[in-house]
Amino acid sequence: MEISYIFVGVPLLGAIIHLFVSKKPRSLNRITELLLLWYLGVGIGVGSLFSGLVQVISPEIVAQSTGWGYSPFLREVGFANISYGIVGLLAVRFRNFWAPTIIAYAVFMWGAAAGHIYEIQQTANLSAGNAGTVLYLDSLMPLFLIILLLVYQKTLKKDSSS
């Protein structure tokens, strides 16, 4: 099992459990709120910290999984991931961090996805760290989070106007 599934599955499971344990009324707004909290905190926060630490501590392992050669630049990318991890964790406490965290994460992930696609086209690199799950998550997770945030904002306005 790829570790990336943990950072997709655990936030979903956490949000579902949180929804059923919480005494607050269930609504579309509450569901999107909990999904955002869990995906920002665990998916981006813990997931990006984990990825960043691996890239900083063992960039050779990351290079091998992507099918790319080792480069000191991998450590720099690791620190970028660590920064997303920190803002993801802060977003759990500070809701005004939600949009900036998602925007920064989307720019980075879509840039990474474009790099993976370029590598696939130019070198036919289908290594696990360049194609497959990582490519799908880099492409779709930011879109998922943007949609969640838009739904949350729209339903928040509806709830407050009633």
Using one digit for the tens of pLDDT, what is the confidence trace for 46-86? Answer: 999 999 999 999 988 888 888 888 888 889 999 999 999 99
What pLDDT, on the 0 to 100 scale, is given for residue 53? Answer: 95
User: Could you report how far apart the first and last alpha carbons of the chain are, in Å?
Assistant: 46
CB contact set of 151 (below 8 Å; sequence gap of 6+): 28, 32
Tokens of 149: 């945030």
* 10-16 CB contacts, 8 Å cutoff, 24+ apart: 10/38, 10/42, 10/43, 11/35, 11/38, 11/39, 11/41, 11/42, 11/43, 12/38, 14/38, 14/42, 15/39
Query: For the segment 113-133, what is each residue's pLDDT rounded down to a tens digit?
Result: 999 999 999 999 888 888 888
The alpha-carbon radius of gyration of the chain (Å, integer) is 17
What pLDDT, on the 0 to 100 scale, is given for residue 129? Answer: 81
pTM of the predicted model as reported, rounded to 2 decimal places:
0.89
Task: Return the number of other C-beta atoms located less than 10 Å from residue 19's C-beta.
Answer: 16
Distances (CA, A) of 42 to 4, 6, 19, 32, 88: 11, 9, 16, 15, 8
Q: How far apart are CA 60 and CA 105, in angstroms?
A: 24
